[in-house]
Amino acid sequence: MKSLLAPRHAVIAAVVLLLLALPAYTQLTGNAFLVTLFTRIVILAMAATSLNLILGYGGMVSFGHSVYLGIGGYAVGILAVEGVRSGFVQWPVGIAVCALFALIVGALSLRTRGVYFIMITLAFAQLVYYFGVGLDRYGADDGLSIAQRSSFAGLIDLSNRAVFYYLCLALLLGTIFLTSRLVNSRFGMVLQGARSNERRMRAIGFPTFRYRLTAFVISGALCGLAGALLANHTGFISPATMHWTRSGDLIVMVVLGGMASLFGPLMGAVALLSLEEALPVLIRAAASPLGADTAVRMAEYWQIVLGPLFLLVVLFARGGIDGVLRGAQRA
């Protein structure tokens, strides 16, 4: 019980409890926007958690991870356009296509290291991005509206906001649990060993490539599920979802929250996306003495504040938010 009272565990428990209680709170206050915002946060936290498996635990800096959000989303969108609304078909298709795509990208990119690896994962993501732009039948760069959320034969009604939120939250927590099993298993030990010293791994007898590739595929498949959720959430999918800056956002969430930390990506997603919402409001409030017009214009530049904040974390808190909490625990 003592460890539960430690600051790190207390913060994680508080975040999870707040996420669990959020719909009840919005029910009381009638603030529906919060559920929409936090559904998005939860889904992107799931994508970041999937990235963390290869980036944090595997040391593979994939700079094209948002492509899986796009593929998962397009699986839902394209199938819906073609008359297949069942989530039992849409979601597995999205996950399977992502796994297959990750298998191809991984098989080629994992033979390289460092900058080359980053560039190849980016190139593949851009390839699919432009493919999406050229998909005339499915909205090209304007994207595709998804009129109805995936149906699950009446088992669960995704059009209910709270139900959908809880489903996303359950899948996020499931992904975190799955990650915790994976990284502590024999497989996870090999994955982390290869991150730490691949040469030594080969010398003691591990064919590292196949293990890293497997992690790459698992990560892509999990992110594909997040993509299916995201398309359901926004009712819309477009190539913009796969833009490389979105991949950058996911990396920022992982690094900000703490690489190779189970709850780090969740904390990073909460921090980044709430700052995105809160900073413009805060700046407008702070600048209001300068006049309403000036304040609004200044609020447009909220990223000027976000950038240095992120820089501070990278420079002074190597382990991200989770690293800071860990440090507080030790002190």
Partner 1 sequence: MPDAILEVEQLTKRFGGVIASDAVSLTIPKGELHAVIGPNGAGKTTLIGQLTGEIACDTGSIRFEQRAITDLPAWQRSQLGLARSFQVTSLFSDFTALDNVALAVQAHVGHSFRFWKNARKEASLREPARAALARFGLAERADVLVSKLSHGEQRQLEMAMALATSPRMLLLDEPMAGLGPQESARMVGTLRGLKRELTILLVEHDMDAVFALADRITVLVYGRIIACDAPGAIRENAQVRQAYLGEQEAVRA
Judged by the rule CB under 8 A, the positions of this chain that interact with partner 1 are 181-182, 184-190, 192-193, 196-197, 199-208, 211, 214
Helices within the chain (DSSP H only): 2-5, 7-29, 32-55, 66-81, 87-109, 114-133, 161-184, 186-203, 208-234, 244-257, 264-287, 292-299, 303-316, 320-330
For the bound state, the minimum distance from the C-beta of residue 109 to partner 1, rounded and expressed in Å, comes to: 19
Residue closer to partner 1, measured from CB, 43 or 215: 215
For the bound state, the minimum distance from the C-beta of residue 264 to partner 1, rounded and expressed in Å, comes to: 16
How far is Cα 145 from Cα 219, in angstroms, rounded to an integer? 27
Inter-residue contact 267 to 322 (CB < 8 Å):
yes
- Write the CB contacts of 43 (distance below 8 Å, at least 6 apart in sequence): 168, 172, 226, 229, 230, 233
Residue closer to partner 1, measured from CB, 92 or 193: 193
Inter-residue contact 189 to 197 (CB < 8 Å):
no
For the bound state, the minimum distance from the C-beta of residue 92 to partner 1, rounded and expressed in Å, comes to: 20
Helix axes 114-133, 66-81, angle to 10 degrees: 20
For the bound state, the minimum distance from the C-beta of residue 88 to partner 1, rounded and expressed in Å, comes to: 24
Residue closer to partner 1, measured from CB, 208 or 238: 208
* Amino acid (1-letter code) at residue 201: M
Residue closer to partner 1, measured from CB, 70 or 323: 323
For the bound state, the minimum distance from the C-beta of residue 106 to partner 1, rounded and expressed in Å, comes to: 16
For the bound state, the minimum distance from the C-beta of residue 199 to partner 1, rounded and expressed in Å, comes to: 6
Nearest to 150 by CA among 55, 79, 213, 250: 79
How far is Cα 221 from Cα 206, in angstroms, rounded to an integer? 24
Residue closer to partner 1, measured from CB, 57 or 101: 57
For the bound state, the minimum distance from the C-beta of residue 259 to partner 1, rounded and expressed in Å, comes to: 12
For the bound state, the minimum distance from the C-beta of residue 44 to partner 1, rounded and expressed in Å, comes to: 25
Residue closer to partner 1, measured from CB, 31 or 180: 180
Token look-up 């635990």 returns 57
Residue closer to partner 1, measured from CB, 223 or 270: 223
* Amino acid (1-letter code) at residue 58: G
With vertex at residue 283, the alpha carbon angle to CA 317 and CA 275, rounded to the nearest 5 degrees, is 40
Residue closer to partner 1, measured from CB, 135 or 259: 259
Radius of gyration of the chain measured on its C-alpha atoms: 20
Inter-residue contact 216 to 54 (CB < 8 Å):
yes
